[in-house]
Amino acid sequence: MGKKTVTVPSSRRTRLVIGVGVCVLASAAAVTAYAFQHRDPGVPAAKNSDAPQCRRITDAAPDSLGGLSRWDSDASGVAVWGDRAIVLRCGVTPPGLTHDPCFAVDGVDWVIDTKQSTHTRKVIVTYGRTPATQVVFDGGGRTDAALVELSRLVAPIRQASHCLDSA
């Protein structure tokens, strides 16, 4: 009993190679489209975004926040949810003494940057932590639950001062 060799006709082999090639190209195009669809290169990194704490924050940032899906960013220290409805930038300059409103969420002090905020856009920055983290809420709603989650992300950064009395 000898080995039996099966010969595939040349035209069938050509169709098979072309079919496999088309599948590979279609898969690559789908992956590329998905990657570009879920990237947001338009948000600039903050001055100190290369701090190890910023990498930890963005690595641990949730895939969903306030009901919005996360987009990847080409900028270090940046996380974006929705169509820039929520933008986190770690490594911003910490605010100094200020008359801007301050509030605490789960032990993290936040200052509302009144110069950058409007009635539909709220810009907040952690207070007393270096590096500081800025969050921009563009639109309405979703802020309460998102702030609880974001406060958990930045809480491990040591707080050196408070904008609110802890008494």
Which residues pair with residue 49 across a beta bridge? none
How far is CA 37 from each of CA 63, 139, 152, rounded to the nearest angstrom? 15, 21, 28
CB 94 within 8 A of CB 130: yes
d(CA 161, CA 42): 32
Residue 32 pLDDT greater than 60, yes or no: no
User: For the chain, what is the mean pLDDT?
Assistant: 81
d(CA 59, CA 81): 14
pLDDT tens per residue, range 145-154: 899 999 999 9
Segments making up each domain of the chain, as ranges = 9-38, 52-154
pLDDT tens per residue, range 107-131: 999 999 999 999 999 999 999 999 9
Please report the pLDDT score of residue 89 as a whole number. Answer: 97
Q: Burial, 124: exposed, middle or buried (Cβ in 10 Å; 0-12, 13-18, 19+)?
A: buried
d(CA 35, CA 71): 9
Give residue 133's pLDDT band: very low, low, confident or very high (50, 70, 90): very high
d(CA 154, CA 159): 10
The pTM for the full model equals: 0.74
Which residues pair with residue 104 across a beta bridge? 109
pLDDT tens per residue, range 58-81: 999 999 999 999 998 889 999 999
